[in-house]
Amino acid sequence: EAQVTQNPRYLITVTGKKLTVTCSQNMNHEYMSWYRQDPGLGLRQIYYSMNVEVTDKGDVPEGYKVSRKEKRNFPLILESPSPNQTSLYFCASSYVAGHPGNEQFFGPGTRLTVL
Amino acid sequence: GENVEQHPSTLSVQEGDSAVIKCTYSDSASNYFPWYKQELGKRPQLIIDIRSNVGEKKDQRIAVTLNKTAKHFSLHITETQPEDSAVYFCAASIHSSARQLTFGSGTQLTVLP
């Protein structure tokens, strides 16, 4: 089954404790992206990756890091989380271009609370 | 960069009525416009999309219209049903594909029985 998976689904942590949210896709997509969703603000892009070892900042990258060592995985790293990073996070993937029916597939989301 | 504005933020309709959600975009180079539906507690899922070489696209009860001159596009849902209740997001991209989407802020649609 074609899917994007994220782990963990729920996480409560404390300020300053480093954490990683994993994202994996099995569709051989080149493009992967992280979003945060906050009430009234929609989906805001944090970072994206066009392919292995190619990453770039989105609209709200401060306080986050990513890596793309393998095509299928795109982890999101919060090295020193703060309460303003409490949010719902989505990973997504798609082909870069040229595929009929291309769409961005979303993972199930990770609800992060930073105390 | 691209900016997408979406209205209204909330919309309530009676079952069977039509619902219209509107979005405007700022970058005239945008050429791909998808709409996503997010049910409560679920992930966003694509329901329909349109490219800039087309003015309208329909899929059963859902249609999207695009006005490139005015830089706005709209989602139309006819014969609404309670299962249409969800948050709807519009988005835009300059890449003719699903990458690097800029999303609107979302519309909470409630269909009243």
Walk along chain A (115 residues) and give the pLDDT tens digit of each residue: 889 999 999 999 999 999 999 999 999 999 999 999 998 889 999 999 999 999 999 999 999 999 999 999 999 999 999 999 999 999 999 988 766 667 899 999 999 999 9
Indicate the pairing of strand B10-14 with strand B107-112: parallel
Higher pLDDT, A87 or B52: A87
- Quote the Cα angle for B58-B89-A13, to 5°: 150
Of A43, A48, A109, the CB nearest to B89: A43
Q: What are phi and psi of A83, to 5 degrees?
A: -55, -30
Residue partners of A38: CB distance under 8 A and separation at least 6: A44, A87, A88
Of B98, B103, B105, the CB nearest to A40: B105
How far, in Å, CA of A48 to CA of A31, rounded? Answer: 7
Residue B107 touches chain A, beta carbons under 8 Å: no
Instruction: Pick left, alpha or beta for residue B84 (phi over 0 → left; psi -120 to 50 → alpha; otherwise beta).
Output: alpha
